[in-house]
Chain A
Amino acid sequence: MSVSLSWRRPSILPGFYPTLTLTLLWLAIIVIIPLGIMLWFTAGLGWDGFFAVILRKRVLLDLFVSLWTAFAASFFNMFAGLLVAWVLVRYKFFGWRIADALVDLPFALPTAVAGIALSTLYAPQGWLGALLAPLGIQIAFKPAGIVVAMIFISLPFIVRTIQPVIQDLEVEQEEAASLMGATPWQIFWRISLPAILPSLVTGFALALARCLGEYGSIIFIAGNKPMVSEIVPLLIVAQLDQFDYQGATAIGTLMLGVSFLLLLAINLLQAWVRRRHGG
């Protein structure tokens, strides 16, 4: 028997080369070539040109705003998402099906619609804004507004990532622990949570990526004050509106780089979590 050194495993099915060619071609035209061109334009700026843009105070502070709000929202959603996912899997209650379908609303609702709805809700005269105003809390047109919008749009990423994992948890383990006298809290903390944790980290990463890139739902509620409540995507749009393509390109590349590093860091974190909890 001869060992084939081919780059693909032999198959009798037809259509491999035509479909692969179409796939690669379409991928190249829509995704790879445009991204390559952005990097090429960035390279054209040179190190000096690139750093001259990204070391501007406004760019750095806006990046800080984008990062802390995205972290805050994704962190909040780790808890809220875990709660929602847990309840949806473990309990069947009246309206369960509606609640489950509703989780995907942020996927389905166009971001501009979410944006104007949230901004009118949390505006000082809005339903929620009016409730919070006497407490001295203002959310709309402040950085807190960005966090609220990000919580809205990133919720389904976390819920839908951990839901199947909770579904597959073995109830027998929990029952065994319960028979041995563990309290519900101990069972959750020692048995269920470690099993869910890796997927929770994945969900966090997905949510974070979505929050960092989000534009439509945020700009209406954010206030968009440079260096305080302005997110990086809006800054890119502002550069483009002034026809500053180089600025926009440099900031775009910076954003890609930051997201890439974050996802890399989270992947490493996840590998560590999996090793530790053997998941």
Chain B
Amino acid sequence: MVVRRLLITAALLFLVLFLVLPLIDVFSQALAAGLGVYFSALYDPNVADAIYLTLLIAAVAVPANLVFGICASWCIAKFDFFGRNLLITLIDIPFSISPVIAGLLEVLMFGLNGLLGGWLSANNIQIIFALPGMILATTFVTFPFVAREVIPLAQEQGVEEEEAAVTLGAGFFSIFWRVSLPKLRWGLLYGVLLCNARAMGEFGAVSVVSGKIFGQTDTMSLAVESLYESYELQAAFAVASLLAMLAVVTLVLKAGLEWRHRDELAAGRRKKTA
């Protein structure tokens, strides 16, 4: 009993010190000068632009990776082919690459001295230091999120029901829509949730390819940095508090999903760590 209490206390102390305190710090700094200052910092039109840009980037990157995740889970989980494990490994690559390198890759592709730089500038298309580059960089860092949630889940579920549907004459889309998707939906939602949190919060990759013009090419994360660097702490923490709220909402939804659909999600989880 003593050991139990000691261990629980130590673990909770560690969590409070390293995780809870930073979270509380964000809100307390944001509200340090009162609600009036807090809201006036957020009413800045540049902040509104940053929020819009953040939502826009996530609105492209997340659906793109959702479609990819679905395609990947179908061909990897429902079929057995040579090179399948290699494909899974390749999909995981962005997880082990620094976000800064993700940004660097886009610069080398589309920057002025990059591979396509000459052609792009001749045709007056700007990708780096503009929205398309930020979307591409975000897509890179969030690339595996949906796929790696859904693939193990789909593998666990096997192919019997889908095969039965084929013998009854169903086509690809109706099998996917009526048979596979209902079994996968919570896993998909889970992946989308994590993918979205990362897409909206991404900093390193986006920072490399953004022009860092507050009000034009600043996302919320980048606005936090710009404001912090220009010693506008209050405003920096006000924007940061919005992102922190997004994180808290994500965690609550995630915990809710895990709680209500534990069995469906757990199948995939076991497979992944095996």
Contact = CB atoms under 8 A, between A and B. Distances in A.
B48 interface: no
Contact of A112 (B15, B107, B171, B221): B221
A92 to B, nearest CB: 10
Interface stretch (A55-63, A100-108, A133-141, A174-182): A100-108
A12 B252 contact: no
Interface string B24-66: 0110010000000000000000000000000000000000100
Contacts of B225: 112
B98 A13 contact: no
Contact of A255 (B74, B101, B176, B244): B101
B221 A30 contact: no
A240 B208 contact: yes
A13 B208 contact: no
Interface residues of B, number: 103
B247 A216 contact: no
Interface centre among A12, A20, A31 (most CB of B within 10 A): A31
Interface residues of A, number: 90
Interface of B: 3-4, 7-8, 10-12, 14-15, 17-23, 25-26, 29, 64, 67-68, 71-72, 74-76, 78-83, 87, 90-91, 93-101, 103-109, 111, 113-115, 136, 139-140, 143, 159, 162-163, 166-167, 171-172, 175-176, 194, 197-198, 200-204, 207-208, 220-222, 224-225, 228, 233, 236-237, 240, 243-244, 246-248, 250-252, 254-255, 259, 269-270, 273
14 contacts: A7-B81, A8-B82, A16-B79, A18-B172, A20-B75, A30-B136, A38-B101, A83-B11, A101-B252, A107-B197, A108-B201, A109-B244, A112-B243, A216-B207
Given A105-B19, A151-B18, A236-B101, 20 more contacts: A7-B82, A8-B80, A14-B172, A20-B79, A27-B91, A31-B93, A34-B105, A34-B108, A37-B108, A80-B18, A83-B14, A88-B11, A112-B243, A128-B21, A155-B18, A165-B273, A212-B98, A215-B207, A233-B100, A256-B97
Interface of A: 7-9, 11-16, 18-20, 22-24, 26-27, 30-35, 37-38, 41, 80, 83-84, 86-88, 91, 93, 95, 97, 99-114, 116-118, 120-121, 126-128, 151-152, 155, 161, 164-165, 184, 199, 209, 212-216, 220, 232-234, 236-237, 240, 243, 245, 248-249, 252, 255-256, 259, 263
